[in-house]
Amino acid sequence: MAKDPLLYAVVSTALILIGTMALAFPIGIFSFFEPSLGGSTSASPINILPLIIFGVSSPIPLPFTANIGEFFLVSWAINLTLFVVALSGPWRGIIDSLKNIRRDKGLAIYANSGLTVAIIFPPVLLLAVFVEYILNISGVPVGSLPNTDPRSLFLLDVFAPLREEIGFRVTLVGVVCFLIAYNATRRLSSLRALWHPSRALSDAGVQVWRQPALYGIVVLSAVVFGAAHVLGGGWEIGKFFSAAIVGIVLAIVYFTHGFPAAVLLHWSFDYYQSSFAYFDQIRGLTDSSGNLIPSVAVYSTQLWISYLLLAAGVLTYIYFAAIFLRSLRGRKGSTFKPSQTTSVPVHNEVGSGGTDGVSGTSAEVQSCRSIF
Residue 261 lies in a domain: yes
Average pLDDT over residues 323-327: 86
Give whole-number Cα distances, 341 to 98, 364, 365, in Å: 18, 18, 15
Residue-range definition of the domain harbouring residue 311 = 5-328
Q: Which of 339, 342, 359 is nearest to 351 (CA)?
A: 359
Whole-number pLDDT of residue 370: 42
Instruction: Establish if 365 belongs to a structural domain.
Output: no
Q: How high is the pLDDT of residue 297?
A: 86
Q: What is the mean pLDDT of residues 93-97?
A: 95
CA pair distance 251, 197, nearest whole angstrom: 10
Average pLDDT over residues 139-163: 89
Average pLDDT over residues 211-224: 94
Q: What is the pLDDT of residues 282-319, one digit of tens each?
A: 999 988 777 888 888 888 999 999 999 999 999 999 99
pLDDT digits (tens, 9 = 90+) for 11-41: 999 999 999 999 999 999 999 999 989 888 8
| pLDDT higher than 50, residue 207 | yes
Query: Averaged over 335-344, what is the pLDDT?
Result: 44
Residues 6 or more apart whose Cβ sits within 8 Å of residue 197: 173, 174, 177, 254, 255, 258
Contacts 24+ apart (CB under 8 A), 353-356: 353/207, 354/205, 354/206, 354/207, 354/208, 354/209, 354/210, 355/207, 355/208, 355/209, 356/198, 356/199, 356/201, 356/202, 356/208
Quote the CA–CA distance of 117 and 64 in Å, as a whole number. 36
Q: 98 in a domain, yes or no?
A: yes
Q: What is the pLDDT of residues 240-293, one digit of tens each?
A: 999 999 999 999 999 999 999 999 999 999 999 999 999 999 999 988 777 888
> What integer best gives the mean pLDDT of the chain?
86
Residue 185 in any domain: the answer is yes
- The helix-helix angle for 238-257 and 113-137 (nearest 10°) equals 170
Which pLDDT value is given to residue 75?
96
pLDDT tier, 110 (very low <50, low <70, confident <90, very high otherwise):
very high
Confidence category of residue 372, pLDDT binned at 50, 70, 90: low
pLDDT at position 360: 35
Window from 118-122, 135-139, 327-331, 343-347 with minimum mean pLDDT: 343-347
Report the C-alpha gap between 129 and 100 in whole angstroms: 34
pLDDT of residue 97: 94
Residue 336 has pLDDT above 60, yes or no: no
Q: Average pLDDT, stretch 189-202?
A: 94
pLDDT of residue 189: 87
Out of 121-125, 260-264, 285-289, 352-356, least confident range? 352-356
> Percentage of the chain with pLDDT > 90?
67
pTM, 2 dp: 0.87
In a domain, 200, yes or no: yes
Q: In the predicted model, is pLDDT for residue 353 greater than 60?
A: no
Res. 351 pLDDT band, cuts 50 70 90: very low
With vertex at residue 127, the alpha carbon angle to CA 9 and CA 364, rounded to the nearest 5 degrees, is: 65
In a domain, 345, yes or no: no
Q: How many domains does the chain have?
A: 1
Report the candidate in 370, 124, 164 with the shortest Cα–Cα distance to residue 245: 124
Q: ω before 90 within 30° of 0 (cis)?
A: yes
Q: Is the pLDDT of residue 349 over 80?
A: no
Residue 334 resides in a domain: no
Establish if 351 belongs to a structural domain. no
Out of 37-41, 52-56, 89-93, 215-219, which region has the weakest mean confidence (pLDDT)? 37-41
Banded pLDDT at 335 (limits 50, 70, 90) = very low
DSSP state of 270: I
Query: Is 340 a residue whose pLDDT tops 60?
Result: no
Instruction: Report, as an integer, the average pLDDT of 152-164.
Output: 94
Band of residue 208 on the pLDDT scale cut at 50, 70, 90: confident
**pLDDT for the residue numbered 331:** 52
Looking at residue 347, its pLDDT comes to 39
